[in-house]
């Protein structure tokens, strides 16, 4: 089985130039990224170069948009995103979900 990469880019600007932001949005879409909503883009591919291309596009276009207020890149590789790995110590935590759910939700 081959490795698949799942990546997310979130990007936001303070008072950015909307035409330049639209240019970035369309460049990412043309580079096979999916525009999810507002400032989120995702891609799932076996071609790591497509992920680097998306990061490259953001870096090249960001200064023409305006003051960058936030940017995150997250890349995860897996052979299969449909199954969870089983930790070696899982046998010692058979009731982990119920034990954690018994704890109160923290409120400040």
- Number of domains the chain contains: 1
- CATH number, domain at 44? 3.30.70.240
Q: What average pLDDT is seen over the chain?
A: 93
Cβ atoms within 10 Å, residue 8? 17
Quote the pLDDT of residue 13.
Answer: 93
Domain span at residue 10 reads 4-78
Q: Is residue 15 part of a domain?
A: yes
| Residue the block writes with tokens 């490795």 | 3
Residue in 46, 42, 32 with CA at minimum distance from that of residue 10: 42
Quote the pLDDT of residue 16.
Answer: 79
Q: Is residue 67 part of a domain?
A: yes
pLDDT digits (tens, 9 = 90+) for 6-35: 999 999 999 878 999 999 999 999 999 999
Q: Is residue 85 part of a domain?
A: no
Strand partners, 10: 40, 72
Over residues 93-100, mean pLDDT: 91
Q: How far apart are the C-alpha atoms of 49 and 52, rounded to whole Å?
A: 5
Judged by average pLDDT, the poorest of 1-5, 9-13, 74-78 is 1-5
């Amino acid at each position: 089985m081959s490795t698949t990469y799942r990546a997310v880019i979130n990007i936001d600007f303070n008072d950015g130039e909307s035409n330049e932001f639209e240019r970035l949005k369309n460049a990412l879409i043309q580079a096979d990224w999916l525009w999810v909503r507002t400032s989120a883009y995702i891609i799932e591919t076996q071609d790591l170069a497509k992920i680097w291309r998306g990061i490259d596009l953001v870096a090249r276009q960001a200064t023409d948009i305006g003051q960058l207020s936030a940017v995150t890149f997250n890349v995860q590789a897996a052979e299969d995103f449909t199954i969870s790995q089983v930790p070696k110590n899982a046998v010692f935590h058979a009731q982990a979900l119920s034990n954690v759910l018994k704890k109160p939700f923290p409120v400040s």
